[in-house]
């Protein structure tokens, strides 16, 4: 085991470590789901009359989601390396396309899919490069 409690190259993880890793990955994906709801709620707030009760309700819900995400993100970073956690953030783009199509009847065009793929590839490549530099 390395000094930072990560298995050395070629070492196997215990079942407890694997279970914790799965739990952290599920938590991380749940947080990305919450983060995607921020965009949904803020778009709904933007469609409401300015300074009306729905306006404040939607924006309040948006900031609540953002706050929950921020608190959860800090907890995930305690248990997982930044490069690994950040590489999963690309899934938020997919949530955005899904929410746009399902809730707002936006078209899923090839241009959007290509743009999402380019952004996701950039996040993954950056994260992989950062991961190689970690001790």
Using one digit for the tens of pLDDT, what is the confidence trace for 19-73?
888 888 899 999 999 999 999 999 999 999 999 999 999 999 999 999 999 999 9
Mapping DSSP to helix (H, G, I), strand (E, B) and coil, where does residue 8 land?
Answer: coil
Q: Which two tokens stand for residue 101?
A: 């199509």
User: In angstroms, rounded to a whole number, what is the distance separating the alpha carbons of residues 127 and 115?
Assistant: 18
- pLDDT at residue 89, as a whole number: 82
- What mean pLDDT, rounded, does the chain reach? 85
Place of tokens 């899904």: 98
Report whether pLDDT(4) > 70.
no
- What are the sequence ranges of the domains in the chain? 15-133
- pLDDT at residue 68, as a whole number: 94
Tell me what percent of the residues of the chain surpass a pLDDT of 70: 84
Query: What residue spans of the chain are helical by DSSP H?
Result: 15-47, 53-79, 82-87, 91-104, 110-133
Confidence band for 13, pLDDT divided at 50, 70 and 90: low
């Amino acid at each position: 085991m390395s000094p930072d409690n990560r298995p050395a190259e070629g070492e196997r993880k215990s079942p407890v470590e694997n279970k914790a890793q799965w739990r952290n990955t599920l938590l991380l994906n749940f947080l990305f789901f919450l983060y995607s709801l921020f965009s949904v709620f803020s778009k709904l707030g933007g469609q409401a009359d300015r300074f009306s009760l729905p306006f404040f309700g939607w924006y309040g819900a948006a900031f609540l989601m953002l706050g929950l995400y921020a608190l959860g993100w800090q907890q995930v970073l305690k248990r997982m390396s930044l490069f690994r956690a950040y590489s999963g953030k690309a899934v938020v783009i997919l949530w955005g396309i899904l929410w746009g199509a399902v809730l707002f009847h936006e078209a899923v065009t090839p241009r959007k899919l290509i743009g999402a793929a380019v952004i996701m590839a950039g996040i993954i490549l950056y994260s992989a490069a950062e991961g190689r530099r970690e001790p």
